[in-house]
Amino acid sequence: MKHTISCAIFALLTLPAIAADEIIIQAKIIESAKPIPHDMAKLAASKGVDLLAAPQVVTRVGQEARIEVGREFQPSTIASPGFDTVTTGVVIRITPNIKDGQLAFAAQLTRRELIESKAAATETHTEILSRDLYVSSIPKDGEAVWFHFAEPRNGKKLAVWLQLKRKEA
């Protein structure tokens, strides 16, 4: 079984004729078998709570940014040619905008997780579950927002912490 951990950040920037506001997007992806506290100090002191990644990307108002944190998994096979690797983990697609002078955003969070992988002499079985969470928010300036995926089958809770700020010139 091959596992490779990767983190990719993409900002799909186009350069319009008039410069748009630049937005800093910070994310924290947290996994735990226990409830996940929404306080960073408590989170840091909690045992069994894993900060999987804390990427940051800069994008512009109206432009989608994409953050991927994942692991490559090679499904077992007894037949040729086999299967391509499958990426499990979290993908965040987020588009910041301005609404009534406030920073707002719409995001699609995707979680792909390995449910099970079995191999025997005459057959193999790998199940990957993919779920999407569609969210939008108008947080107060500099306020962090939390989103949780519903309880997964593997018993580990997953939370995504997001904070958007206007980039100062």
pLDDT > 80? residue 26: yes
pLDDT > 80? residue 19: no
Q: pLDDT digit string (tens) for 47-87?
A: 888 889 999 999 999 999 999 999 998 888 888 788 888 88
Q: pLDDT digit string (tens) for 107-120?
A: 999 999 888 888 88
DSSP string, 16-57: -SSPPPEEEEEEEEEEESSPPPS-HHHHHH-TTEEEEE--EE
Confidence (pLDDT) at 10: 52
> Which amino acid, residue 147?
F
Tokens of 125: 């079985």
- Are the beta carbons of 132 and 92 closer than 8 angstroms? no
